[in-house]
Structure 1
Amino acid sequence: MDTRAMLVGLVLAMLPTPGLGAPVESDTLQSPRNKLLLVSFDGFRWDYDQDVNTPNLDTMVREGVKARHMTPPFVTMTSPCHFTLVTGKYIENHGVVHNMFYNLSNRVKLPYHPTLSKGSWWDNGSIPIWITAQRQGLKTGSFFFPGGNVTYQGEAVTQSRREGIAHNYKDEKEWRANIETVLGWFTRDGLDLVTLYFGEPDSTGHKFGPDSEERKKMVEQVDRTVGYLRSRILEEGLESRLNLIITSDHGMNKVNKKAPDLVEFHKFANFSFSDIYFELLDYGPNGMLYPKEGRLDKVYEVLKKAHPRLHVYKKEDFPKDLHYAGHSRITPLVMYSDPGYVIHGRINVQNNNGEHGFRNDVQDMKTIFRAVGPNFQRGLEVEPFESVHVYALMCQLLGIQPEPHDGDLATLLPLLRDGSGLPPRGPALLLVTLLVALFLLVQVAM
């Protein structure tokens, strides 16, 4: 009995500490681990490969995994959607609720590029996968990826690059140079995870529209870049130990710029900006208002019937299934417009031919998901899923314990090969330990 008691004590000591986000000790990370590259092509709508010749993306389908489409979170903007990918949280839970930094107290607003380096906007309680992986012994990198160039609880990504305010998103030569840098991070610097961001075809879709010839040519450039990336992965000897995911943040919708029923606040009867303390309008099809003290009900009653294509809610009544309005950064009034319509504030300043930011159940907001590598199945096409699940999949591929998140690993686990050599993690590690314990106890009993 003494021997058995000692053995039980030893087994209990071997078990991992309960709780998500707990650091994984070094002795649990000895199994072979493949590297992971997450690539995002901003604004790549789910069907952009259907009216353009995309041989390299098509090859990825034959050699890996494709989702029919992927559903981003609401609000379908660049920074919020990218942060969902790297945290596995809905936007109301990670708090990056807009592309722009804003402060409701002093009414300061910053454009997109300055917001990329505004640490307090990103570091507000959620830990992205870069930091989680580093705390568990890995090295990570972010190249232009939103959120990858600030510190979280005082910790920075191992390697990072941030785009400049006047950055040329379309330069294909620079795209290839960026790929070379990232591959060097893997081969020379020993990084385990890198997130790589390209600002197209979003920029072209905004300027010329999602149905334009310019957008089609840009998708061809994206496909050439995918081909270049995969060929360089092969040349660097990384193909057998690098998992590659190619996805995006959101889609794109054509704007009805000449519609007779534009959504224009400055033309709404009985509405006055003198009743508003803070406004965030003129940024696509969604907006927020903070009415002055005592004027919330008055403003709401005017706006809820102001335009049939505008949908205005008090914060507490905003649709719960959109997982957006539950954060403290959201103003008392939240709104969005119908597909094809943007929200104009004091004057009409929006001139884009394409836009995103609409509800995430709008088909044009759906985006792509492709994956290939040693741990992914081959020739598999799966049903649509939400991007909130990608984080758990990436943690599984890296063999790290995730932070608390809103995704479900079971949703995307079928994308992986059976017995693909993934290092034990979480429940899998616990199961292995218990099986070993059972075997030893049986041996003692005999």
Structure 2
Amino acid sequence: MKLYNDHVENFGVRVIYLFNTINSFCVLSSIFALAVAYFFVPYPVAVLPMIGAAIIAFALMKVADWHPYYVPCALLSLLYLFIAYTPGYQTYLMALLGVTVFYLGVLLVINGGPQVIVGRDITIPFRMLVQCITTVVPTTLSLPISVFFGYFLTSTVLITGHVAQGSLPLTPLLATLAVNIVCALIVRKYLPDNIPTNQYRPDQPISKPFKKVVILNIDGGRWDTIQKLNLPNINRMIGDGAHVKNGLLTVYRALTNPAFGTILTGARPQEHGIFDNNIGQSLKVEGLGDLAKITIYGCMHMKHFAKDGWETKIVSLPTIGIQKSDDVAMEWLLDDLRNDKKTQLFVFDYSEADFCGHSYGGQSSQYHEALKKVDARIGKVVEVIESLEDAEDIAVIVCADHGLHNLDHGYRLFKGESYVPCIFYGKRIKQGYAIEKDGMINDICLTAAWMLGKRYPANAQGQVFDTVVA
């Protein structure tokens, strides 16, 4: 048996996301910081009160979804408690150092190490380090978000222990808790609900269903940049096909697994069960792959949201490298398009643009060059489809799961991370047709189901773009 195989890669990716996702990072960094602080500046420990404080602080952050809007309230609360109880500052400075060191280890080693292997570029972790300072995202690609919430959890535990051991008055602690509960609930109330504005399903099924629908997903493809780059193949598909003029709004959180879960089920992350990229989450509702034979192509990411029974063809990014991986997987897609007579839905994820965005930034030349390469690859897929005997009965949908801002996407705070392309192409698609209505990526699922003549997945919401068919 080879030392490196799919199981090893799958485990490695899961470990990366365990450290990378903000909720698990907070817990792990806090444990590390508490141990570091105790080693250098021993402090009295009150086990039960400190565990209770950790649970309450974590619950508050979870309610507020670790959102930047919650930071001012949490920050002012810490400052107030420091003033009210005047604990020894050495312990808290050491705890802050512990969280920061843990963060840098995760960014440079656990995130950056695999990026070096996949990208074949040793400078990537240091490029990420520079940009993570100004990045706001619910992962460890953001220094301010990760370090602050890790430290908020750690300091809450330390202050509670200080109060319990010193038999100090609880009033400041309880008052701060009350304020934080209110603030967390207010932030929660204004988080996006992911309910599509437009809900439409045609009265009649499609008169002549397509035999195949090919979804070509540009992972991390921001709509505004794709338009500005003047990509020849995408421009031709827009001119000879149909597209959503303003792009589609991705889901909150704007991360790959929850977004893809929505593309394949039409359901909100709150319903389909995948809210971030961390372990322990899977699709809990009906999806397109339950209604039509599906094959999904891409990196190990894709296996994590696909249901058992859905066929996946996974390319190893560390083994092949990001520069070639999309081409290798695309040969599988092209071969299946030529020879597979049973599969009705082909879902392909182009990884290179997303990788370059996370490594070099969403405004970098590397990201732009990656989008140009994706455009050329899409052109090759279209060329093969147009050469097939059943080309008339094949519809192509070019889309993206999310966009990019700096290194980041997730909170949907910026236009670049929020809006993605949606282009329809094929011999039976209207030429030069622009859809003026706003939409969400839920609509991709509903439209694909309608094109295939299938019923809609049970929990799907959104609209069908039936007017794109001539």
TM-score normalised according to structure 1 size: 0.54
- Is 1:94 the equivalent of 2:272? yes
- Is 1:75 the equivalent of 2:129? no
Describe the shift of the 1:198–1:175 C-alpha distance in structure 2 as closer, same or farther (beyond 3 A).
same
Q: Tell me if the contact between 1:83 and 1:147 (Cα under 8 Å) persists in the aligned partners.
A: no
Structure 2 CA distance for aligned equivalents of residues 404 and 32 of structure 1: 20
Structure 1 CA distance for aligned equivalents of residues 408 and 306 of structure 2: 31
Corresponding letter in the other structure for 1:365: S
Structure 2 CA distance for aligned equivalents of residues 355 and 202 of structure 1: 10
Aligned counterparts, 1:386-401, within 5 A? 386-401=440-455
Alignment match of 2:392 (pick from 204, 224, 240)? 240
Partner of 1:444: none
SS in 1 for 2:318: coil
Alignment match of 1:374 (pick from 412, 427, 440)? 427
Alignment match of 1:41 (pick from 215, 218, 224)? 218
Per the TM alignment, residue 365 of structure 1 is displaced from its structure 2 partner at its CA by 2.1
Corresponding letter in the other structure for 1:357: G
SS in 2 for 1:394: helix
| Cα shift readout 1:221-276 (whole Å, capped 9, x = no counterpart) | 1111111111122233343221001111111112xxxxxxxxxxxxxxxxxxxxxx
Structure 1 CA distance for aligned equivalents of residues 213 and 424 of structure 2: 10
| Structure 2: stretches of 5+ with no match in the other structure | 1-204
Per the TM alignment, residue 396 of structure 1 is displaced from its structure 2 partner at its CA by 0.3
Structure 2 CA distance for aligned equivalents of residues 29 and 192 of structure 1: 16
SS in 1 for 2:322: coil
Structure 2 CA distance for aligned equivalents of residues 128 and 229 of structure 1: 25
Alignment match of 2:312 (pick from 151, 157, 160)? 160
| Cα shift readout 1:264-289 (whole Å, capped 9, x = no counterpart) | xxxxxxxxxxxxxxxxxxxxxxxxxx
Q: Tell me if the contact between 2:313 and 2:329 (Cα under 8 Å) persists in the aligned partners.
A: no
Per the TM alignment, residue 150 of structure 1 is displaced from its structure 2 partner at its CA by 7.1
Corresponding letter in the other structure for 1:101: I
Q: CA RMSD in A?
A: 2.6
Higher strand share: 1
Aligned counterparts, 1:168-187, within 5 A? 168=320, 170-172=322-324, 174-187=325-338
| Cα shift readout 1:11-45 (whole Å, capped 9, x = no counterpart) | xxxxxxxxxxxxxxxxx999664311011110000
Range that drifts further, 75-84 or 229-238: 229-238
Corresponding letter in the other structure for 1:132: L
Alignment match of 2:383 (pick from 231, 253, 259)? 231
Structure 2 CA distance for aligned equivalents of residues 64 and 181 of structure 1: 25
Partner of 2:294: 140
Q: Tell me if the contact between 2:392 and 2:428 (Cα under 8 Å) persists in the aligned partners.
A: no
Corresponding letter in the other structure for 1:239: A
Partner of 2:117: none
Structure 2 CA distance for aligned equivalents of residues 250 and 229 of structure 1: 22
Q: Tell me if the contact between 1:73 and 1:387 (Cα under 8 Å) persists in the aligned partners.
A: yes
Q: Tell me if the contact between 1:42 and 1:250 (Cα under 8 Å) persists in the aligned partners.
A: yes
Describe the shift of the 1:360–1:64 C-alpha distance in structure 2 as closer, same or farther (beyond 3 A).
farther
Per the TM alignment, residue 53 of structure 1 is displaced from its structure 2 partner at its CA by 3.6
Q: Tell me if the contact between 1:71 and 1:360 (Cα under 8 Å) persists in the aligned partners.
A: no
Describe the shift of the 1:360–1:399 C-alpha distance in structure 2 as closer, same or farther (beyond 3 A).
farther
Per the TM alignment, residue 185 of structure 1 is displaced from its structure 2 partner at its CA by 2.0
Per the TM alignment, residue 70 of structure 1 is displaced from its structure 2 partner at its CA by 1.1
Corresponding letter in the other structure for 1:95: G
Structure 1 CA distance for aligned equivalents of residues 296 and 340 of structure 2: 13
Partner of 1:24: none
Per the TM alignment, residue 393 of structure 1 is displaced from its structure 2 partner at its CA by 0.5
SS in 1 for 2:234: helix
Structure 2 CA distance for aligned equivalents of residues 171 and 98 of structure 1: 26
TM-score normalised according to structure 2 size: 0.52
Describe the shift of the 1:178–1:238 C-alpha distance in structure 2 as closer, same or farther (beyond 3 A).
farther
Q: Tell me if the contact between 1:247 and 1:370 (Cα under 8 Å) persists in the aligned partners.
A: yes
Structure 2 CA distance for aligned equivalents of residues 42 and 402 of structure 1: 24
| Structure 1: stretches of 5+ with no match in the other structure | 1-27, 103-120, 134-138, 255-353, 418-446
Describe the shift of the 1:208–1:91 C-alpha distance in structure 2 as closer, same or farther (beyond 3 A).
same
Q: Tell me if the contact between 2:326 and 2:352 (Cα under 8 Å) persists in the aligned partners.
A: no
- Is 1:413 the equivalent of 2:466? yes
Partner of 1:200: 352
Aligned counterparts, 1:28-427, within 5 A? 33-67=210-244, 68-102=246-280, 121-123=281-283, 125-133=284-292, 139-144=293-298, 152=307, 156-157=309-310, 159-164=311-316, 166=318, 168=320, 170-172=322-324, 174-190=325-341, 191-254=343-406, 354-359=407-412, 362-383=415-436, 384-410=438-464, 412-417=465-470
SS in 2 for 1:171: helix
Q: Tell me if the contact between 1:88 and 1:391 (Cα under 8 Å) persists in the aligned partners.
A: yes
Per the TM alignment, residue 168 of structure 1 is displaced from its structure 2 partner at its CA by 5.0
Corresponding letter in the other structure for 1:166: P
Higher helix share: 2
Partner of 1:6: none
Describe the shift of the 1:98–1:167 C-alpha distance in structure 2 as closer, same or farther (beyond 3 A).
farther
Q: Number of aligned residue pairs: give it.
A: 262
| Cα shift readout 1:47-77 (whole Å, capped 9, x = no counterpart) | 1223424110000001111222110010000
SS in 2 for 1:47: helix
Structure 2 CA distance for aligned equivalents of residues 42 and 94 of structure 1: 20
Structure 2 CA distance for aligned equivalents of residues 403 and 357 of structure 1: 25
| Cα shift readout 1:282-309 (whole Å, capped 9, x = no counterpart) | xxxxxxxxxxxxxxxxxxxxxxxxxxxx
Structure 2 CA distance for aligned equivalents of residues 223 and 169 of structure 1: 19
Q: Tell me if the contact between 2:222 and 2:420 (Cα under 8 Å) persists in the aligned partners.
A: yes
SS in 1 for 2:229: coil
Q: Which has the higher contact order (CA 8 A, sep 6+)?
A: 1
Q: Tell me if the contact between 2:405 and 2:417 (Cα under 8 Å) persists in the aligned partners.
A: yes
